Structures are given as C-alpha cells and as structure tokens.
Amino acid sequence: GGMVCGSIEPVSSDEDRGWTWQVCLSNGGRLCLCREGMCMLSRYRVDAVAAWSEPQRSRRPQLYAFYNANDHPLGFRYAHLGHGTAKGDFPIVGMTAGWLPAELVNPADYDRLRSESAQVRIRFLGTFCDPFDVAPSPAVSTQVKVSTAQPGQSTMQVLLMDGGAVMVQPAFPSAPLWSKTGAGGKGFGSGKGFGGKGKPNFHTSGGSFFAPAQIQMRPWGNSNAFFKPRMAPPVDALQMVASAFRTTRHSLRDHAVFRGKLRQLPRTKSQQNIEANLSTDRIRFAADAPSLLSANCPTLSTSPPPLAPRPLLSVLCVRWFDYWSDPDRCSDYSTLNDGYFTDLFDGPCSMGKLLPGEFEVFTVFIRCTADLTKLQPQQLRSMLGGRNVVAWYFVWPSTCSAEGAGYVSE
C-alpha cells in the first residue's frame, strides 16, 4: 500500500524503558527500536491507544541474489512485494528483476559458492505475488463451449477462446458420425494432434475426415437399400477437453487455461519466499558466511553480505495484468504477449545481455484505468535507486469509455 515515514529520535518516556530509539510515523503509528547483540529489535502500534505488537527480531540475510521473474520454469511472473503482507488487489507493484536477500536451501552448498561455474539452490526471501493468483481465469470446467458444425468443417477440434474459454467443434451429438478416409488417416482420437507437455496442438488438423451429408445407397442382396448416416452417441465435451489436455475430467474443476496449457487455480493471492537454481555469478555473500549458516548462531555474522553496487539503470514498467491468455511464444507488436517482454528484457541486445546484474525492474500490473489513479508517483520514484531512471508504459490509451484488454482511458 502506501508509504509511511518518520524521524528517528531517542526515547523520552519511562514507558519505553529498555528501548533506545522511537519513530513517530506519518500514519499516526509509533515504532520503537533497540539493539540486542548483533540483532535489531522493534515493536509497533498503530495509534496511541492501541496495544504494542510483540517485539520482532531483524534477520540478516545470508546472501543477496539476482532475481529475474522471467526465469520461472513454468512461465509464471512473480513480483517481489517486499517483506510485508500482500494486499491482494490491483495495481500490483513489485520488483521483477534485481538484487534480493536470499539464503541457501542447503547450507552444505556454501563451499560451492566460491566456484564461478557452479549452481546452487537458493531461497529468495519476502512476499511474492503473481497477477494470475489475484485474478485467475475461470476453471476450465466452466468454460467449455460446444460450437455448431460449420459447412466444410472436416475435423474435430478443441479451440482456445478469448478469456481462456475452450470450445469443442463440431457440435455433438447433432453431427453425423465421423469416418476416416483412407487407411492412413489420423484423427483427433488417435492423439496425433496433441502437442508436448499436455498442450493441445490447436494448429494441426490431423488427418482427413468426412461427414456424410446426403442419403447414401448401398447394395443389399439383389436390390438397393437406402440408409441414413448413423448419429453419434452423446459425447461428454468435458471428457474431450480433458483428453486433449491429457488429464482427468475431475482436474478441469481446479485448473484454468494458462498459455494454452493447464495451471492449478491459486489458493492464496501471494506466497512467502521462492526457491530457484542459480549460478554463483548471480550471488553475493559475506566473507564470514559460515557463521550465518551456523545452526547455533544464525545471525551473528561480523559483516553483512556485500551489497550489489547501485544499479546503473532502474526501469519502471507499466503493463497489462493478463500475460497468460495469449499462448503465442512471442510478438513484435502486442503488449498483451508475454514473449514481447521476455525479448525486451532478456533477448538479444537487451539490458539482461548487455548489463547483467547492473539493472533493476519494478513492474506495475494494472487491470483498468482506475488502477493508474491509485498509484503514488512519489512512492514509485523512491523505489528506483539506479543512476539512470526510465519509465516504460505498455498500455494503449483510448478515447472510448468502454475499456478493452490492454486499453486505458486517456
């Protein structure tokens, strides 16, 4: 949410005996601080009549690591919100690239930190939020639609619709029974039209099918007999979709379409800490890091991890929240396509290639024009610590009152 501030002063009342400093905050709250060995203790109350919170002990990080939201192996985009509780609403403002406090998942990996080519498992500390977790697509089971068979349509298809809906074509059971033409034909039921990793291949027509639309005639004994084409038995459209995604019908209740694949619907709007495998050149640690890793005294390091130098470049990126409905790998014009941003930040000649570790990106995910009015320019500017600062806007201005995906009112 908002930014609060205040001046640090020595404590002046007997009530605060045992505490060294106090801060009267701009929101009416009050903070007390004192040192306990190598740690800092703090307590807080929201106003003069409220009770004090339990003392909180500061935690010095073992190390700092360079975080990049675009590195997520499943294509999720988690923004680091800080170390508080996520408000769970738009606009979502957080760091998507930059140096963050972290710790080793396995303390035994400390010796590997000194190797320039090793990889270790680390845990980024703080609160993270993905726009999908705040405003996910509806469950697939509620989005399956059956279309009317179109003239000349020759294959069964499962199609992605705007908003993550799934359409089954042609309509069943009103369509005639489909038949293969030729011994080598491959169709929807054969599984050939599927892509890898549970993703239906929506661009492969499979083999050729035909639907007999006229009354057919066949010989029967010494005479000709007429018959109408058989009607297909009722088909469970949900089961068709489940088969296309190579999953069960039941799982469609708690999954949504995400970039043409399935993603588990979120249980919470944020999560604490994120783990990742990183190369050691993206990690900074203290010379006495073993003392930080000690189980007996986890915070008594004599020196903190060396901080990254001041970023050469700070970027404030304003973009649309829905980065998952467009399943295409990339685009050179659509700001609704996530591949557009991965190319911009990490592609050839990008800052990720030319300035590794020397930049930071704070991303603002918005869902409507009203989200822009909630932003506080002073707070946004205070986040940017680089020697050079730039703001990039990737939403389209519109003079229409009705807003569409990616548009905001002028």
CA 221/CA 113 separation, integer angstroms: 85
User: How much is the pTM?
Assistant: 0.73
* Per-residue pLDDT reduced to its tens digit, 114-130: 777 789 999 999 999 99
* Per-residue pLDDT reduced to its tens digit, 60-114: 777 899 999 999 999 999 999 986 556 678 999 999 999 999 989 988 888 888 7
Rounded to 10 degrees, the C-alpha dihedral 258/263/268/271 comes to: -90
CA 42/CA 35 separation, integer angstroms: 9
CA 24/CA 110 separation, integer angstroms: 41
* Per-residue pLDDT reduced to its tens digit, 151-182: 665 566 777 776 667 777 765 544 443 333 33
Tokens of 203: 């661009």
- What local confidence, expressed as pLDDT, does residue 81 receive? 92
Residues of the chain with pLDDT under 70: 1-3, 38, 59, 83-87, 148-156, 162-164, 170-235, 286-307, 402
